[in-house]
Structure 1
């Protein structure tokens, strides 16, 4: 394991998981510091959900070393499980209970839960607190799943595509909740297909392809290292549009300034986005 293992909430080395002839996770390495929000990105089938399931102790592994909050999830105790919250892709709440009944019921599973009324408010379900779950919309059910993931006041929160089905307002409310939990010291692992969400929340990201981490770093650092060239666009005096891809856009703009008297018509400098980087790293750039 790593030299500074005590600084890591999650320390994974050489993780492997196979399903018959299919290798879902192939020697994956991952280190998540205590108190940080960490994003795990990758296409469907890259091994993200399998990795999260292994970290939570719900799936066995075929190889590698895993430490989560100082314990191996495969042999961890009930006390350890109470320190880990999770929001799965699939709904888990009983349909016949109300929101309030469900949150209060799940709170009894934990030694030091958050206040159920506070959690209902945090996920924006106050108006639906006495509604039965079967009558909620898909987005409201996902908000309830988030409530059940945080009710135990976990030290580590695992979020597997938690905002699927959220409208924009609900998604931003969820982001505020994640920032609040991070400010309180909760370590958060987030898998998501929303690149904007990953960039808004995560201090560091890992991009996974074919069961391996292919790049890791801050969103800005990934763009800088893997983004490639910028595009400088402008309009010539005869009205024709021009564009040039360059690794030195400032130098290109400087050269254009010497050719134009005053403003450069139609000048734009477009740098690669996190989405561009993600598509390149996962081999999907050509099919964009």
Structure 2
């Protein structure tokens, strides 16, 4: 069997990545995505999705009356008021499964900033398309919420993985705190503007439904436009922080590394995940007297708690 030359791996260079410019650009992604979290995810989408579902299930319902007709979602009857909670639950479960792969891929992607941008802009497009939710079109709303939330969670995993690329261990609290502050400021600012539009919609010549749709659109546009700043500002971050996988291990190894980062021997062999996890009998006997310094390759992708 002919031998093939190994594919060269571009490793990350911390000396070029941990700069003030990268740290400043990093925080802007919190500013970008927090607008979707506050305006759409927290305030608007659940009651608006319920209103769309009610218009479909009970089109002639008098104002103030309760809709008792169930929706049919893939043949499963669901109460109108339960549609939004079910949608968020499905989006969360799908994200939890997908992020098992994203966390490992983020450390092994040669262009992690491009991966961040791709996920963020896909989510921003889904969030912007919520402008077209009207009448009784709740089915499109469910799909867009799942896509947007999935992309939001995946992009935040890549974003958190970049924190250890742009900041030294002693600087990460400062860089992360500044990013969180930008996130709260940006999300709160757009939410205040949208609440102002929804309060004064008549004087602006808008219907209440149009005011909601414009607010949903603004959150998606805000997310997409301001993502340009971190993507361009951190574009020089290239290379991987962990051993890349090839062939079948490119997929089979991802969830293994996400649950418990494999040891050096597991990274270069085809041993199953279970053989890479420590057991009670081995950890006690082989634990060193003092822990070694953590390396970038063995550090979990997400260094910050989820907001």
What range describes the TM-score normalised by the shorter chain of this pair? under 0.3
**What is the TM-score normalised by the length of structure 2?**
0.24
| Greater share of strand | 1
| Greater share of helix | 2
Q: Looking at both structures, which has the greater relative contact order when contacts are Cα pairs under 8 Å and sequence separation is at least 6?
A: 2
**What is the TM-score normalised by the length of structure 1?**
0.25
